[in-house]
Amino acid sequence: MFLPTTNKEVEARGWDELDVIIFSGDAYIDHPAFGASVIGRILEAEGYRVAIVPQPNWRDDLRDFKKLGKPRLFFAVTAGAMDSMVNHYTANLRLRSNDAYTPGGKAGFRPDRTVDTYTKILKRLYPHTPVVVGGIEASLRRLTHYDYWSDRLQQSILATSGADLLIYGMGDKPIREVAKALRNGFNMKLLRGLRQVGFLADKEYVERLYNGKTIVLNSFEECQRDKHKFGENFKEIEVLSNMMECETTLVERVDQSYVVITPPHATLTTEELDHSFDLPYERAPHPRYKGKGDIPAWEMIKHSINIHRGCFGGCSFCTISAHQGKFINSRSERSILAEVKRLTQMPDF
pTM score:
0.96
Spatial distance between the Cα atoms of 323 and 311, rounded to a whole number of angstroms: 10
CATH of 7-261, one of 3.30.160.270, 3.40.50.280, 3.30.70.270, 3.40.50.11540: 3.40.50.280
Strands (E), the chain: 20-24, 29-30, 50-54, 74-78, 131-134, 145-147, 152-154, 165-167, 197-201, 214-216, 249-254, 257-261, 284-285, 308-309, 329-330
Q: Print pLDDT tens along the chain (349 aa).
A: 999 999 999 999 999 999 999 999 999 999 999 999 999 999 999 999 999 999 999 999 999 999 999 999 999 999 999 999 999 999 999 999 999 999 999 999 999 999 999 999 999 999 999 999 999 999 999 999 999 999 999 999 999 999 999 999 999 999 999 999 999 888 888 999 999 999 999 999 998 887 778 999 999 999 999 999 999 999 999 999 888 899 999 999 999 999 999 999 999 999 999 999 999 999 999 999 999 999 999 999 999 999 999 998 888 888 888 899 999 999 999 999 999 999 999 999 9
Spatial distance between the Cα atoms of 15 and 48, rounded to a whole number of angstroms: 11
Spatial distance between the Cα atoms of 167 and 194, rounded to a whole number of angstroms: 10
* Cβ-contact 270, 332 below 8 angstroms: yes
In which region does residue 115 sit, left (phi positive, over 0), alpha (psi from -120 to 50) or beta (all else)? alpha
Spatial distance between the Cα atoms of 77 and 71, rounded to a whole number of angstroms: 13
* Cβ-contact 37, 50 below 8 angstroms: no
Closest of 199, 96, 79 to residue 149, by C-alpha: 96
Q: What phi, psi does 91 have (nearest 5°)? A: -65, -20
